[in-house]
Structure 1
Amino acid sequence: MEKELKSGYFVTGIGTDIGKTYISALLYKALKERENAGYYKPIQSGCFYKADKIIAPDVKFVCDFSGVEYDKDMCTVTLMPEVSPHLAAEMENKEIDINKIYEKIKIKKKEYSTVIVEGAGGVYVPVIRNKVYMFDIMKELKLPIILVSSTKVGGINHTMLTIEFLKTKGIEIQGIVFNGYTGEKYEDDNISVVLEDSEIKNYITVKKGQKSLEKNDLINLLGEKKNENK
């Protein structure tokens, strides 16, 4: 069955600092070259002020990487402390309105043909203490997951645990991005184990410092429009 490009994808990772923002930037940049694509970061902690404006660092990175002007509308909840969203909100005495995020996604999906949505941390990150977790947002949005993984030692365990958890929650996984690939034999074996055990077929490898995605890689991961000329 031919893969077809969907209206949006949710980028998450097997842990913190795995490269979600970098991969989101690569996907957004590649899609923008082909169609009317958008990027959205619902929640960002670790924000800072610049010229009296709050800057979401992940949004800034994606915009700079893609050569577009910074757009504050790409992030709904901006928090200053560089900790988990639930704690950052508590430290700032802020209440996170999840419904605003859901409404914003609806708007983005009407505004763009494909939207790259980047989560905060991994799948079990608390958003509102004891009430809402990142996987709850994933379930509500019903966007297929792009899982950012690693080819390094420990990557198999963290990746398979995340995949199994997503499956138990009934969350669709679109594919895996193995980030930081260097071509070592053990990395190829790690990738092989994950793909065989998870039975996930869509995947790509990304090397450190890679500036763009080839069209074939994008299609292998996301698919393409049915009416697109090959």
Structure 2
Amino acid sequence: MENNRFFITGVGTDVGKTYISSLLYKELKKYMSIDYFKPIQSGCYYEDGKLIAPDLKFLADFNDEEYKGERCSCKLIPEVSPHLASEIEKKIIDLDLIEREFYKKISRCENILVEGAGGIYVPIIRDKFYIYDLIKKLNLPVILVANTKVGGINHAMLSIKFLESLNIEIYGIIFNGYTGEDFEKDNIKVILKDSKIKKFLVVEKNQKNILKEELFKFFEI
């Protein structure tokens, strides 16, 4: 794995993007220099006079690291879609700033995990710019986080087909929250067969580590 950068998005909100991002970051940093970037975060809050981005806090706590607020370019307080949060706060989301900070980060560290907000179609600027636009702007392949519960096939395949329609590269898929049920195994089998995606990981609920051989196979290390 050399000079690799990935955009981590999900089939929807609460599918576990931050957990998966934190887990991948934890495992990859054992073997290489890697950074994490969250371009936009809504649902931020003040703690000791400092505006905290919850996903950055989760990643820091998960990895027993110091919280680094500079890993997020745009912090918004209302816990709603970024476009609405920015409107409520009367705050402009500076896309050029996001791009500049992204390139500044990769100039310092070639490997990076970029985490989106919500799903692929989440608006960043109303009627103008969406998460999928940000993926294209940063020119990153996607790691799609999906779930294995009932309804997972529909959510995953709609997301995959939409990404393909935009000619956005799907690097691989990570199935999160696996509990070993027979229907989950079948969901995974159907999604992989119909999507023809070759690279995948299956992560159990609250899993703390990824086996080295599975990690290396997924990232071709």
TM over 0.5, shorter chain: yes
1:59 to 2:56 alignment: yes
Displacement over 2 Å in runs of 4+: 4-7
Q: Note the 1:170-189 alignment, pairs <5 A.
A: 170-189=167-186
Does the residue aligned with 2:74 lie in a helix, a strand or coil? Answer: strand
Alpha-carbon distance in structure 2 between the residues aligned to 1:221 and 1:19: 18
Letter in 2 for 1:29: K
Taking every aligned residue pair, what percent have the same amino acid on both sides?
53
Does the residue aligned with 2:178 lie in a helix, a strand or coil? Answer: coil
Structure 1 counterpart of 2:27, from 30, 44, 50: 30
Aligned length: 221
Structure 2 match to 1:77: 74
Q: Summarize deviations over 1:96-129 as a string: whole Å, max 9, x none.
A: 0101111111111111131010000000000000
Does the residue aligned with 2:117 lie in a helix, a strand or coil? Answer: coil
1:138 to 2:118 alignment: no
Structure 1 match to 2:162: 165
1:216 to 2:213 alignment: yes
Alpha-carbon distance in structure 1 between the residues aligned to 2:205 and 2:34: 24
Say if 1:6 and 1:220 are closer, same or farther in 2 by CA, change over 3 A: farther
Structure 2 match to 1:227: none
Structure 1 counterpart of 2:83, from 86, 97, 109: 86
Letter in 1 for 2:219: L
Structure 2: segments with no counterpart, 5+ residues? none
Structure 1: segments with no counterpart, 5+ residues? 225-230
Structure 2 match to 1:104: 101
- Relative to the length of structure 2, the TM-score reads 0.98
CA RMSD across the alignment: 0.9
Does the residue aligned with 2:102 lie in a helix, a strand or coil? Answer: helix
Say if 1:5 and 1:154 are closer, same or farther in 2 by CA, change over 3 A: farther
- Relative to the length of structure 1, the TM-score reads 0.94
